Structure 1
Amino acid sequence: MAVSVLALLTLAACGTESGSGAGSGDGSGTVRTDLPLSGVHWSVSSLTVGGKKTTAPDGAHVEIDSAGRASGNLGCNRFTADVRVDGDTVTVGPDTTTGMACAEEVQRFEEALGRTFSGELRAAVAGEGAGRTLTLTAAGGDSIALASRPPAPLTGTAWKVTGLVSGDTASSLPAGTEGTAHLTLGKDGSVEGSLGCNSFHGKAAVSGSTITFGPLASTRKMCPGPEMALERELLAVLQDRATYRIEHRTLSLTAESGKGLDASAPSDGK
């Protein structure tokens, strides 16, 4: 699965620490593979297969812990995987992924990642600090491009809705509504955005891990069935009180009813 792919990054995580010896970058774009990959949020930027470059789904990312375990999200399904690193060679082991049905375009992307990222891959890091990029290349030349991203704050971020939750069940957005719904919380206690069809605004008071939404005002357009279905689901979350959790660049909101949503910060970091 695509998930395993990201795991590859893990490999590098088990590599040597950064230093000033041979192979180190100087901040001028020199490629280096001695930088630690653990503790970094790597956003998947694109996948190149057979010379064709495809932009990754919003929210696609991988993180590597100090134990050499990779986990992340390809924009739909979550994954975990073990990897082995030998120098700049990454060997991907068995992975575990969720089995959520995704939009057709996202499923194609995940399948392409799964086919490309297997066996041995070459890892290369360029740049310094928050501007680092990671490239994983298969023997045939296909590759995945990733970039380090800073954490996203709750307020001021245009959170793009990527999934829905009902109790313990997660699901993708209704077909054709991907990328249409978003919300931005203001430092002044306001909230605004789009429900996938109608735009909205209102009040949102943050206290601890809870957001209390006031009545929302929205436009009154009638839209196709999938958009209206998404709107109903989101309104069930953005009413009264909801708990929130941020994991680096991913936001989860859960209402007292058990209805919830997952959202991601823009991949460009803005």
Structure 2
Amino acid sequence: MILRMVVLALALPVPAAMAAGSDPLAGSEWRPVEIAGTPTPEDVEVYLQFRAEGAVAGMGGCNRFTGGYSLEGEALAFSPLAATMMACPEPQMLVEQRFFATLAQVRGFARDRIDLVLSDADGAPLVVLVQRDAD
């Protein structure tokens, strides 16, 4: 009986997003070092986490955010983000505004080990990130 359940479980279709290796970004965390051509100050906490099943979360510089992303080949797009509404000093707010506005324009990506470049529809770089959780 147990063997039959295992065989049936193995026969069930696996969603493409859960197939091994289908999402090269899932489970990774990144720190932007440049947003829209402007270096990100090291004293501003800003990061982006790609989670399982197309979820994204992070810190924009002032507020935490969540949302979704879709990935097909090297095409990448973010859904509208939901964020907390805290007020912060101007440097953090400016970084956050730039980061959120730029993420809305992302249409592609290129990854090279611990470096990630998010680009617009024409392939122009928008955000340059370094992996925070790299070994």
**Which bracket does the TM-score occupy, shorter chain normalised?**
0.7 to 0.9
The 1-side partners of 2:109 and 2:92 are apart by 24
Amino acid at match of 1:225: E
Q: Deviations over 1:54-105 (max 9, x none)?
A: xxxxxxxxxxxxxxxxxxxxxxxxxxxxxxxxxxxxxxxxxxxxxxxxxxxx
The answer on whether the counterparts of 1:182 and 1:194 sit within 8 Å (CA) in structure 2 is yes
Amino acid at match of 1:233: R
The answer on whether the counterparts of 1:159 and 1:263 sit within 8 Å (CA) in structure 2 is yes
- Cross-structure match for 2:130: 264
- Cross-structure match for 1:192: 57
Amino acid at match of 2:89: P
Amino acid at match of 2:85: R
- Cross-structure match for 1:156: 27
The 2-side partners of 1:268 and 1:249 are apart by 7
| % identical equivalent positions | 26
The answer on whether the counterparts of 2:49 and 2:58 sit within 8 Å (CA) in structure 1 is yes
State the 1:197 CA deviation.
Answer: 0.8
Structure-2-length-normalised TM-score: 0.72
RCO higher in 1 or 2 (8 Å CA, sep ≥ 6)? 2
Amino acid at match of 1:162: V
Distance 1:229 1:175, change over 3 A: farther
State the 1:154 CA deviation.
Answer: 1.6
Q: Between Structure 1 and Structure 2, which shows a larger proportion of strand residues? A: 1
The 2-side partners of 1:173 and 1:160 are apart by 9
> What are the equivalent positions in structure 2 for 1:1-270 lying under 5 Å apart?
153-165=24-36, 170-174=37-41, 176-177=43-44, 180-239=45-104, 241-256=106-121, 260-266=126-132, 269=135
Unaligned runs of 5+ in 1: 1-152
The answer on whether the counterparts of 2:114 and 2:134 sit within 8 Å (CA) in structure 1 is no
SS of the equivalent of 2:129 reads: strand
Unaligned runs of 5+ in 2: 1-23
Larger Rg over CA atoms: 1
Which stretches of structure 1, 4 residues or more, deviate above 2 A after TM superposition?
255-259
Q: Between Structure 1 and Structure 2, which shows a larger proportion of helix residues? A: 2
Aligned length: 111
The answer on whether the counterparts of 1:210 and 1:242 sit within 8 Å (CA) in structure 2 is yes
State the 1:222 CA deviation.
Answer: 0.6
State the 1:185 CA deviation.
Answer: 1.1
State the 1:171 CA deviation.
Answer: 3.0
The answer on whether the counterparts of 2:62 and 2:92 sit within 8 Å (CA) in structure 1 is yes
The 2-side partners of 1:211 and 1:261 are apart by 13
SS of the equivalent of 1:228 reads: helix
The 2-side partners of 1:264 and 1:249 are apart by 6
The answer on whether the counterparts of 1:157 and 1:184 sit within 8 Å (CA) in structure 2 is yes
State the 1:255 CA deviation.
Answer: 2.9
